[in-house]
Chains A and B, each alone.
Chain A
Amino acid sequence: MSEAAVAGLLVLLVLLALIAVRAADLLLAVVALGGYSFAMALVWAAIGAVDVAFTEAVVGAGVTMVFMLAALLRTSRRRSPVAVGIQQVALPVVLVVGFLLVALTTALPPWADPAAPAAVHVSPRYLERAVAETATPNVVTAVLADYRGYDTLIETVVILTAGLGCWLLLGRRTP
């Protein structure tokens, strides 16, 4: 995909985020967030992170959206008003943090830089040896499931514990 298409998707992301933040009807906000996730998945796919794009599409644009809709059905579609005092504090905080983040992006290595720290540490070894060592052409799978197996094991335990927590909380009978 061309850079112009990615730029268009990034503009769409900002617009959808603004809709999600400003919408008075939370149903609209949830739908905007679903569109946001789907546009994000397209961006991931366009820059070559296909596994991440797949996850973003099924989790962000798929299941999470339905979960948020189900939560809205159980609660309220209306946004509860935010106190003016909090808004007055939030604006400067957002402006300062946002300015710092944008200013610091200049310190990041250029996109797809082969000399970036992340690309010269262990990545070359994985790319060179994954097929010979694990018979797995999709290096992302080889890294997640084999080279970084401990991380994936603990992530799976986190999903289980978080899910059990939700299940127990939602299952409590209301008096």
Chain B
Amino acid sequence: MIERHESVVVTTFVRGLVPLAQLFGLYVLVHGHESPGGGFQAGVVLAATFVLLALALGREVLDRRVSEPACLALACAGVLLYVLTGLVAIAGGGAFLDYAALPVPLPAARARWLGILLIECGVALTVAATLVLIFCRLAAREDAR
């Protein structure tokens, strides 16, 4: 199956690359208002770092660093964050997902900006956690199934 790579060049490079790639994922998430990207792309980049770790260091790294129940909870929490943002807008006197009605002391355009950031975080959580979850099961050992 997916075993640890023998080359020290590969393992060292991946160990160094993964934190940078995760930082880039967060940048794509919070900078989606101004540049290409957003929650979906950020989620995939974050999930890809775990895939990369498993490809270079062997699938055991997933056992040590990833908890499937936690991923499940995060995937659901992303959708919940999205829905809650919509519901809070209703509580603030607007329509569902009308971020201008979010009860924050900001002008309407800034409140919409904040609402977009909140739901992009939700999308990123769901996408990242779902992809990691699928990869954990795909990469599982045959005998451990």
Interface residues of A (CB under 8 A from B): 50-51, 53-55, 58-59, 62-63, 66-67, 70-71, 73-74, 132-138, 140-142, 144-146, 149-150, 152-153, 156-157, 159-160, 162-164, 166-167, 170-171, 173-174
Q: Which of A58, A73, A135 contacts B112 (CB 8 A)?
A: A135
**Complex contact B123–A156 (CB within 8 A):** yes
Q: Contact string, B107-145, partner A, CB cutoff 8 A, digits 1/0?
A: 011101101100110110011001101110111101001
CA distance in complex: A142, B130 (Å) = 24
Given the contacts A66-B135, A160-B79, A136 and B113 also touching, CB distance less than 8 Å = yes
**Complex contact A145–B116 (CB within 8 A):** yes
**Complex contact B36–A67 (CB within 8 A):** no
Given the contacts A51-B38, A73-B2, A170 and B134 also touching, CB distance less than 8 Å = yes
Residue of A whose beta carbon sits closest to that of B99: A146
**Complex contact A156–B138 (CB within 8 A):** no
**Complex contact B33–A135 (CB within 8 A):** yes
Separation in Å of the B37 CB from the closest CB of chain A?
6
Given the contacts A157-B79, A163-B134, A146 and B115 also touching, CB distance less than 8 Å = yes
**Complex contact A160–B75 (CB within 8 A):** yes
**Complex contact A149–B119 (CB within 8 A):** yes
**Complex contact A171–B137 (CB within 8 A):** yes
Chain A hits for B83, CB < 8 A: 153
CA distance in complex: A174, B110 (Å) = 53
23 examples of A-B residue contacts, CB within 8 angstroms: A54-B28, A58-B41, A58-B45, A62-B44, A70-B138, A74-B142, A132-B109, A133-B109, A135-B109, A135-B113, A141-B38, A144-B38, A146-B112, A149-B86, A156-B79, A159-B126, A160-B78, A163-B134, A164-B130, A166-B137, A167-B133, A171-B145, A174-B145
**Complex contact A63–B41 (CB within 8 A):** no
Q: Which of B36, B133, B137 contacts A51 (CB 8 A)?
A: B36
Chain B hits for A145, CB < 8 A: 38-39, 115-116, 119-120
CA distance in complex: A67, B134 (Å) = 9
Give the size range of B's interface with the partner: 35 or more
**Complex contact A156–B51 (CB within 8 A):** no
Q: Which of B45, B47, B112 contacts A134 (CB 8 A)?
A: B112
Q: Which of B55, B126, B138 contacts A170 (CB 8 A)?
A: B138
Residue of B whose beta carbon sits closest to that of A153: B82
Separation in Å of the B26 CB from the closest CB of chain A?
15
Chain B hits for A67, CB < 8 A: 134-135, 138
Residue of B whose beta carbon sits closest to that of A171: B137
Given the contacts A54-B41, A135-B112, A167 and B134 also touching, CB distance less than 8 Å = yes
Q: A74-B138, A163-B130 are in contact. List 6 more A-B contacts (CB 8 A).
A: A62-B44, A67-B134, A70-B2, A160-B75, A166-B134, A170-B138
B14 contacts the other chain (CB 8 A): no
**Complex contact B32–A138 (CB within 8 A):** yes
**Complex contact B138–A71 (CB within 8 A):** yes
Chain A hits for B36, CB < 8 A: 50-51, 53-54, 138, 140
